[in-house]
Amino acid sequence: MNFDYSDDQKFLKNEARKFLDAHCTAAHVRKVLDNAEVSHDVALWQGVGEQGWLGAAIPEEFGGLGLGRVELCAIAEELGRACAPIPFASTVYFLAEAIMLAGSDAQKAKWLPKIAAGEVIGAYATSEGPGTVNPQTLQANVSGGKLSGTKIPVTDGDIADLAVVLANENGKPGLFLVELAGAGVTRETLKTLDPTRSVAKITFSGAAAERLGDAGEGFALTEAVFDRAAVLIAFEQLGGADRCLEMAKDYAMDRYAFGRTIAGYQAIKHKLADIYVKNELARSNAYYGAWALNVGAAELPIAASAARVASSDAFWFASKENVQTHGGMGFTWAVDCHLYYRRSRQLALVAGAPKTWKERLVRQLERRNAA
Amino acid sequence: MDFNDSPEEAAFRTEVRDWLTANAPEKVDTKKLSEPELLKLAKAWQAKKAEARFTCMTWPEALGGRGATPIQNVIYNQEESKFDVPRGFFDIGLGMCVPTVMAFANDETKQRFVAPAVRGEEIWCQLFSEPSAGSDVAGLRTRAVQDGDDWVINGQKVWTSGAHYCDFGILLVRTNPDVPKHKGLTMFWIDMKAPGVEVRPIHQMSGGSNFNEVYFTDLRVKDSQRLGAVGDGWKVALVTLMNERLAVGGSTGPNYPEIMELARSTVTETGSALANDAFREKLADWYVQAEGLKLTRFRTMTALSRGQTPGPESSIGKIISANQLQDLSNAAVELEDQFGIITDTAIAPLEAAFQQSLMWAPGLRIAGGTDEILKNIIAERVLGLPGDVRVDKDVAFKDMPTGR
């Protein structure tokens, strides 16, 4: 039984923490939060590239480090803990995973080395309005290699170089690679719950689009990419949830009320114990997702769903109860609780809301029972 | 990251599986057997296990074990769980009581008791909880007064599993009420068949009687039956309780597959209950919790497999499983609609397993540490938060306010 990080993976995780402790403090996060014109921390993004994290799971033949997905999960956990304000998920969990999953040899050779080298920021564009996009509602359309339509919201869409876009072509849904610097692309930055991450509305009017994967497979491929992203994001959520528990504990230990530290009151102790229980449950489910992702197991859809549901719940609970534990101070802009409260919402929504994943999980259970 | 055995573990698993296949008793319908009949089967199986050293495996060979590693113990339990063997009668005795005897008794006592317990010939129970000492077990009142070389014991214990079939027990009593509560306790081993011991079954809210009250009326025990020094009973009890988490098994009962099956076959106004969005969301939550607990046990096993001490993650187990059993059972009963009130096993779905679990779950949330105590333990021992304000620490036991 080896259901945990290996010593090497723990070492990597620890190195990542050291790097982020130095280069991604709350002050770094706040520079992005407090400046509407700053989309992300450019220096951190470069540093992360120099560490090789962007290509951690990209094969060596394409310029990556060729490590496993579990190593990437370890990095993700630390990025989540640090609330890193960079387009890492969009580029690594969505774009790179989509290309590795569905790309032709030429597409892989063209894009993966650039991603690994930090030369490309990615985005993944599916949503077109409130609710979940589905084959009946999908409007974006490709005709003669030209994409038209509107995608909103697209995380990092305003700063990305390359987007994966879900659109119909000849009545069949497909995925398309679109270079966003080209003609026929209009981008508008949006205000969101989490200003430490950048989000755009992108209007395509005849933008050059190249199909990624087979025609008609757009939704199936998106599900497969989201399974991968969900596992990796689950580790960011876990890292964030753990940090919230630490913050709540540290604050409660130092805060005195009615003549003693509030950490001694059962109302607080039980609250923190509840956070711990949810975090450990999320960790176990996330590890299972990491295993399934790493070995390409047939169980990945169910493992990813469970990881996403458990980690979304844990991070939401930890982030809101962290604010509560801090009392009035927790509600101020100056204290960092809201950074995690915001990020918990961003991560819970970016790959589809938990409700969608619960439905997906139950569908998988039904499928498994029918088999 | 994987779920594989190491080569040594795989070899041991094969050895265990082969032995179980050759030796496990014929499958019997345990539900149709009376408790004495079951106990007879259990004792026979325990004797067989003891002979092959597949019980108390981590104990030294001289004490009947095989000096096994904790992970080998887990592997044996995993494999045995695939067979329909009688279980549960020896867990408390061999998991908690006999280790306490081994730690504190003289050689003569150990010689006398350890081997028969290992072979299942004698069963032990644990006599700690009292009507006015549950979560606060050190507040117990059963009194032992020294009389020459004897101690005379009067009082009452409660929630004693298996007292009615046990041969011996370890008993925590108050020997000095003039000092603060933790300092006036002493531990003894006792003969459950001695005069002055009376066992009465407790009629539970679930209808069954799995536990007992035990009354002591002028029970005389020899000073040589004392385990540890006079006044050191709390220290001795901590050794017993340290083993509790290992001895108290996981919960059984219907889980997400069973309620999913029930929902599939249950018709509602809008079709199958399994098609209902609200139900599907809950089902997903139950799956995540049940699988999450199973996977958490794998993390504990990983630590054992690596020769490390398991982390505190296993402490989440009972809080989640007990609450989920209650929640899921009630959801199932409500799913059955008006029919859900029926407990007749011949009529209710799944032989009324949901109704039975609904009535059993409240006990599970209390036994072996209430939800509230377990949260205190997580807060204090795992997260390092301070203990509660203690008003009884420096007060003589006899001066403590007691309510009723």
For chain A, domain boundaries: 7-88+105-116, 122-215, 219-370
pLDDT of residue B404: 62
The pLDDT tens digits for A342-371 are 999 999 999 999 999 999 999 999 999 888
Residues 337-356, chain A, touching B (beta carbon < 8 A) = 355
Size of the A and B interface in Cβ pairs below 8 Å: 150
Pairing of strands A185-189, A172-179: unpaired
Fold (topology level) of A219-370: Butyryl-CoA Dehydrogenase, subunit A; domain 3 (1.20.140)
pLDDT average, residue stretch A328-351: 97
Higher-scoring residue by pLDDT: B404, A200: A200
Interchain proximity A2–B295, CB inside 8 Å: no
Q: Does residue A294 sit at the B interface (CB-CB below 8 Å)?
A: yes
Residues A268 and A234 sit within 8 Å (Cβ to Cβ):
no
State chain B's mean pLDDT as an integer. 93
Contact flag B284-A70 (C-beta cutoff 8 Å): no
CB proximity A357 to B under 8 Å: yes
ipTM of model = 0.94
- Bridge partners of A2, per DSSP, are B2
Helix/strand/coil (H, E, C) string of B268-287? ECCEEHHHCHHHHHHHHHHH
Residue B244 catalytic? yes
For residue B248, the model assigns a pLDDT of 42
Q: How far apart are the first and last CA of chain A?
A: 28
Mean pLDDT over B358-374 rounds to: 93
* Residue that is written with structure tokens 């230990």 in the block: A253
Residue B403: the pLDDT is 77
B5, B281, B386: residue with CB nearest A355: B281
Residues 313-372 of B with CB under 8 A from A: 313, 316, 319-320, 372
Pairing of strands B267-268, B271-272: antiparallel
Contact across the interface for A281 and B385, Cβ inside 8 Å: no
What pLDDT, on the 0 to 100 scale, is given for residue B169? 98
Q: Which residues of B touch A259 (CB under 8 A)?
A: none
* Residue B28 in this model has a pLDDT that exceeds 80: no
Percent of chain B whose predicted confidence (pLDDT) is above 70 = 98
Q: What is the distance in angstroms between the Cα of B279 and the nearest Cα belonging to chain A?
A: 10
Mean pLDDT of B295-305: 91
Question: Which tokens sit at A196?
Answer: 């430490």
The beta-carbon neighbor of A361 closest among B274, B287, B388 is: B287
Tell whether A274 is within 8 A of chain B (Cβ): yes
User: Chain B partners of A266 at a C-beta cutoff of 8 Å?
Assistant: 372, 375-376, 388
* Whole-number pLDDT of residue B243: 67
Options B9, B15, B213, B244, the catalytic residue: B244
The minimal CB distance from A2 to the residues B302, B316, B319 is found for B302
DSSP letter at B11 equals H
A366 contact B CB<8A: yes
Percent of residues in chain B assigned helix, strand, coil, to nearest 5 = 50, 15, 35
Q: Is the pLDDT at A3 greater than 70, yes or no?
A: yes
**With 70 as the cut, is the pLDDT of residue B170 above it?**
yes
Q: A93 pLDDT exceeds 60?
A: yes
On whether any CB of chain B is under 8 Å from the CB of A276, the answer is yes
Strand ranges inside chain A, DSSP E: 122-125, 141-143, 146-155, 162-169, 172-179, 185-189, 199-212, 256-257, 260-261
* Span A222-265, pLDDT tens digits: 999 999 999 999 999 999 999 999 999 999 999 999 999 999 99
Question: What is chain B's length?
Answer: 404
Phi, psi of A152 (to 5 degrees): -155, 130
Q: What is the pLDDT of residues A12-67, one digit of tens each?
A: 999 999 999 999 999 999 999 999 999 999 999 999 999 999 999 999 999 999 99
**How much is the pLDDT for B62?**
94
Quote the pLDDT of residue A276.
Answer: 98
* pLDDT, mean of residues A276-301: 97
CA closest to B301 among chain A residues: A1
Mind telling me how many Å the CA of B5 is from chain A's nearest CA?
A: 5
pLDDT in tens, A99-128: 999 999 999 999 999 999 999 999 999 999
- C-alpha closest to that of B138 among B174, B170, B163, B169: B174
Helices A69-82 and A218-254, packing angle to 10 deg: 50
Mind giving me the DSSP string for B154-214?
EEEEEEEETTTT-SEEEEEEES-TTSBGGGGEEEEEEETTSTTEEEEE---TTS---EEEE
Q: Is the pLDDT of residue B119 over 50?
A: yes
Percent of chain A past pLDDT 70, that is, above it, reads: 100
Lowest mean pLDDT among A17-31, A118-132, A184-198, B18-32: B18-32
Render pLDDT for B233-291 as a digit per residue (tens, 0 to 9): 999 999 888 766 543 445 579 999 999 999 999 998 889 999 999 999 999 999 999 99
Q: What is the largest CA-CA distance in chain A?
A: 74
Mean confidence (pLDDT) of chain A: 97
Q: CA angle A308-A279-A17, nearest 5°?
A: 90
How confident is the model at residue B251, as a pLDDT?
A: 56
Q: What angle do CA A83, A87, A88 make, to 5 degrees?
A: 75
**B3 and chain A: CB distance < 8 Å anywhere?**
yes
DSSP 3-state assignment of A257?
Answer: strand
Mean pLDDT value of segment B46-64: 96
Sequence-separated (6 or more) residues with CB below 8 Å from residue B257: none
SS3 for B14?
A: helix
Is the CB of B295 less than 8 angstroms away from the CB of A263? no
The DSSP letter of residue B130 is: B
- Contact: B295, A5; criterion CB under 8 Å: no
Average pLDDT over residues B32-60: 95
Can you give the pLDDT at residue B67? 95
Question: What is the dotted CATH code of the domain comprising A122-215?
Answer: 2.40.110.10
Distance, CA of B226 to CA of B106 (rounded, Å): 10
- CA–CA min distance B11, chain A (Å): 14
| CATH H-level superfamily of A7-88+105-116 | Acyl-CoA dehydrogenase/oxidase, N-terminal domain (1.10.540.10)
Q: Which residue of A has its CA nearest to B318?
A: A277
Cα A61 to Cα B50: distance, rounded to the nearest angstrom: 58
Asked if the Cβ–Cβ distance from B283 to A264 is below 8 Å, we say no
Q: Is there a common fold for A122-215 and A219-370?
A: no
CB–CB contact B3 A358 (8 Å): no
**Contact between chains at B375 and A270 (C-beta distance less than 8 A):** yes
pLDDT of amino acid A106: 98
Smallest CA–CA distance from A71 into chain B, residue: B1
Name the A residues in 127-166 with CB < 8 Å from any B CB.
Answer: none
Amino acid at A277: V
